[in-house]
């Protein structure tokens, strides 16, 4: 399976990749996007099985990426790994079709709990 990690922070993408490996998902094909537009383009070009997106990114926010994908008929499994969390953000994510909303800091245990049912 292919997992796209979208975050404008290179360091945060590395932390997400490391945590995925610690949680036992390191054998999946992990690809990265550095902003929202790149994430949107990579979903169309790479056809990942799962997208882990930051909320605030340049060019297009994570929620904008999700809404644009859904408007185009793309139902890729999509969720957020972000440092910000408000009830409004969670509501927007849910209504747009996000499967999960993980708040930083996160742990390998949390990744396993959320992604095991999704990735099998």
Q: Six-digit token pair at 25?
A: 């998902």
Q: For residue 68, what are the contacts with CB-CB under 8 A and spacing of at least 6?
A: 40, 60
- Could you give the domains of the chain? 2-110 (3.40.50.2300)
Verdict on whether the full-model pTM lies above 0.85: yes
Region at 54 (left for phi over 0; alpha for psi -120 to 50; beta for the rest)? beta
Return the pLDDT at 120. Answer: 78
Q: Six-digit token pair at 14?
A: 């590395």
Handedness of CA 32, 36, 41, 47 (dihedral sign): positive
| Tens digit of each residue's pLDDT, the chain (120 residues) | 999 999 999 999 999 999 999 999 989 999 999 999 999 999 999 999 999 999 999 999 999 999 999 999 999 999 999 999 999 999 999 999 999 999 989 999 999 999 999 987
């Amino acid at each position: 399976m292919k997992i796209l990690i979208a975050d404008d922070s290179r360091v945060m993408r590395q932390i997400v990749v490391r945590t995925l490996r610690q949680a036992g998902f390191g054998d999946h094909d992990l690809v990265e996007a550095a902003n929202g537009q790149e994430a949107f383009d990579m979903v169309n070009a790479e056809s990942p099985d799962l997208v882990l997106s930051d909320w605030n990114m340049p060019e297009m926010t994570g929620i904008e990426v999700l809404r644009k994908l859904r408007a185009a008929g793309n139902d890729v499994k999509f969720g957020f790994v972000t440092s910000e969390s408000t009830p409004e953000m969670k509501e927007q994510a849910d209504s747009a079709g996000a499967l999960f909303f993980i708040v930083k800091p996160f742990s390998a245990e949390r990744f396993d709990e959320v992604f095991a049912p999704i990735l099998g």
